[in-house]
Chains A and B, each alone.
Chain A
Amino acid sequence: MESKINRYSKQLILINSLFIIIWLVVSVFPFIWTFWGSFKVKADFFSRADWMFAVTGVNTLIETGDTSTVKAYVESWTEGEFWKATLNTIIITISVVTISLFLGTLGAYALSRSTYKYTFWILIAALIFRAMPHITLVSGYLFPFFQLNVWGILPTTIIVLVAINQPFTLWLLYSFFKTVPKELDESALIDGCSYFQAFRYVIMPVMWPGVITAGLFSMMLAYNDFTVTSLLLNQQNYTMVPKINAYLGTIEHSGNYMWAVSSVVSATAPLFMIIMFFQRQLISGLTAGAVKG
């Protein structure tokens, strides 16, 4: 029931819409601009003469015979070996999500069902671990990993990312498990299930929303990571994000600045699509820790 006074005045609606439109432009325009520019040549995207060249593609027309080109994409994927980086990202992301969820659901279920005081201290420890800057952890890994000869390969990075991801996954799933009534697994236990059976056949089937949310966050962490992947992987095993950074830095690619631009688009597009699909879960996860009820 909306009372008459509660309706918004015309002025307010106008200011409001204007503000939202401006804010949307600020948030979205950079991505549209980069997407559009990735089909141009460098002389257009970074035009000294006139930035309108990036829209119209004057130099692109001169250099390639058309106003837009996929040259940068083709070159970065083949010559720049971006396909390899993509493959590595896919392997790392899938492994991290699977292992994180497996460990996280088990741990968080135990934390939510135990009534002893140590669960509180474990959760506090997890909170402290979550606050550690990743780079300080990496500085601790490098030396032992060199000594053990496990530096530079994918499995090491996967385990490290899983571990770094655990504190957040535990907290998130813990708050989801808390919303599942205890009576549910208690009745299963009375019927003769073991704890693991109760967890597997009674609790997990009603936990899918929480699991999807936690999986989404694990995915974003693994997919987006730069600190860990750039320092723990060797150049051949780079994932997308450090690969893009490598395109920018090295001298041999200096002429191919557009490789980085097109790779940014290649790396961002799948992520945006996934988020578009799972937006609701993402938001519910972000707020789980902040808002009660």
Chain B
Amino acid sequence: MPHKTFFWFFFPSGLAMLLFIGLPIISSFFQSLHIEPEQILMEVEKCDPFGCKTETKVDIEATTKLQEEQPLGRFNGLGTYGDRNHLAFEEIKEAWGNSSSMSEFIDILLNLPFYKALLFTLTFCFAVTPPVVVLGFIVALSINTLTKSLKGPTIFGVILPMIVTPLIGSLVLFWMIDAKGILGATIQYLFDDPNLSLKSSSQLTWITLIIYGIWHNTPFAFVVFYAALQTVPQDPIEAAIIDGASRYERVRHIVIPHLYPVATFIILICLMDNFRVLEPIIGFAAEGVAQSLSWMIYNDLRSENKMLFGSAGATSMLTIIGVAFLLTPVLIRTWREFRTER
């Protein structure tokens, strides 16, 4: 295809991506270099029959004027990246000097908002992915043995948790796990503790969120494994049967090696998708004990009159760096595939 034809075919799609994915990243970076203007204060003398008092008040007129002149705020360089809500260099230095033991230092470190969110995000990613891969594989193996007429409806039932949006999915589970819902009440009954609630401690909330993550992501792993199972070559399996291999041995030595590349694909996609975890935290109303990087950005942006563009931009940039780390293996894989194709 000549360059010119290619250009016109690709132009609309490319323009959309450039304007609404490429530019926002740059715009985010630009915002992160600025900080909201400070409010201008003025002293007002207020007099009443009992005497005069001076009060400090926000000079609304001057503040609005300043905001109009500099809508993005004043230039702050990389200052936002180092402040308490992001990388917190000073706080870390101080904690390093003052804390007597390593555990105390780590304690202080993990109470800083950014590191707290990073810890949750990574814990969520790495706790959800392995069970998802294992469960997805087992479900795919089981459903593969069903008779054809049963397969369709079963697959439909199994993929439901993946189809609904995470917010709705987490709400549906949350209402059951609530102390007054069916699961919550059953758990209280089983442990004989009327005050036990999955919301009561941060560990239990984290576990609930992780269980939700597994519930939501397993169908994806199942679908991909199921499709890959259809491509397993039959000849080696027949040969193994003739040689007297048990079913377990056949799965272990023929099916699993065949599925390795698919498993890495699932792991990478799972890590990348879970790195942006946001909706479950809102659905489970877990903001108090579990914040993710995405949630930090969301929190900076959600109030309509006072959005912290600078802070959100800085967290976005740091998140993108995190995504880049997770993305590298995917890119290498794609690169190899392309080279073998040509």
Contacts and interface: CB of A to CB of B under 8 A. Distances in A.
Interface of A: 3, 5-6, 8, 12-13, 16, 19-20, 23-24, 26-28, 30-31, 33-34, 37, 45-48, 50-51, 54, 102-104, 106-107, 109-111, 113-116, 120, 122-129, 131-144, 146-147, 159-160, 162-164, 166-167, 170, 195, 199, 220, 223-227, 230-231, 241, 244-245, 248, 260-261, 264, 267-268, 271-272, 275-276, 279, 282-283, 286-287, 289-293
20 contacts: A16-B145, A19-B139, A27-B157, A31-B160, A33-B182, A102-B12, A107-B9, A127-B334, A133-B276, A135-B278, A143-B72, A160-B20, A162-B16, A225-B165, A230-B302, A248-B285, A260-B171, A272-B160, A276-B156, A283-B223
B167 A245 contact: yes
Given A114-B1, A141-B20, A223-B165, 9 more contacts: A51-B181, A106-B12, A113-B1, A129-B22, A138-B301, A241-B167, A286-B227, A287-B228, A291-B224
Ordered nearest first, which 4 A-B pairs have the shortest CB separation? Answer: A140-B24, A163-B20, A107-B13, A110-B9
Contacts of B21: 129, 132, 137, 163-164, 166-167
Given A27-B161, A195-B5, A128 B27 contact: no
A139 B318 CA distance: 13
Interface of B: 1, 3, 5-6, 9-10, 12-14, 16-17, 19-28, 31, 71-72, 138-139, 142-143, 145-146, 152, 154-161, 163-168, 171-173, 175-176, 178, 180-182, 185-186, 215, 219-220, 223-224, 226-228, 231, 238, 241, 247, 262, 265-266, 272, 275-276, 278-279, 282, 285, 294, 297-298, 300-302, 307, 309, 312-313, 315-317, 319-320, 323, 326-327, 330-331, 334-335, 338
B165 A241 contact: yes
Given A115-B1, A244-B168, A129 B17 contact: yes
Contacts of A120: 338
Contact of B17 (A124, A126, A135, A287): A126
B131 to A, nearest CB: 13
Q: In the complex, which of the residues A115, A142, A293 has the most CB atoms of chain B within 10 Å of its own CB atom?
A: A142
B10 A107 contact: yes
Contacts of A166: 13, 16-17, 21
A45 B327 CA distance: 43
Interface centre among A28, A45, A163, A267 (most CB of B within 10 A): A163
Contacts of B334: 123-124, 127
A30 to B, nearest CB: 5
A51 B186 contact: yes
Nearest to B135: A23
Contacts of B167: 226, 241, 244-245
Contacts of B297: 135-136, 138-139
B241 A290 contact: no
B13 A103 contact: yes
Contacts of A116: 3, 6
B31 A143 contact: yes
Main secondary structure of the interface of B (DSSP, over half): helix
A283 B155 contact: yes
B209 to A, nearest CB: 15
Contacts of A140: 23-28, 31, 313, 316
Contact of A16 (B142, B160, B161): B142
Given A126-B17, A136-B297, A272 B163 contact: yes
Interface SS, A side: helix
B31 A5 contact: no
A16 to B, nearest CB: 5
Nearest to A29: B176
A290 B269 CA distance: 10
B227 A283 contact: yes
Contacts of B24: 136-141
A127 B278 CA distance: 21
Given A19-B138, A24-B158, A147 B1 contact: no
B182 A133 contact: no
A291 B227 contact: yes
Contacts of B157: 24, 27-28
Contact of B327 (A131, A241, A276): A131
Nearest to B28: A140
A143 B159 CA distance: 38
B180 A47 contact: yes
Contacts of B23: 140
A104 to B, nearest CB: 6
Contacts of B215: 26-27
Contacts of B185: 50-51
A104 B163 CA distance: 22
A104 B16 CA distance: 11
A93 to B, nearest CB: 13
A289 B268 CA distance: 13
Contact of A224 (B5, B165, B223, B224): B165
B160 A27 contact: yes
B188 to A, nearest CB: 10
Given A27-B157, A195-B1, A279-B155, A133 B319 contact: yes
A267 B169 CA distance: 12
B142 A19 contact: yes
Nearest to B23: A140
Nearest to B245: A5
A163 B17 contact: yes
Which of A5, A139, A223, A244 has the most chain B CB within a 10 Å cutoff? A139
A136 B20 contact: no
A106 B331 contact: no
A151 B226 CA distance: 43
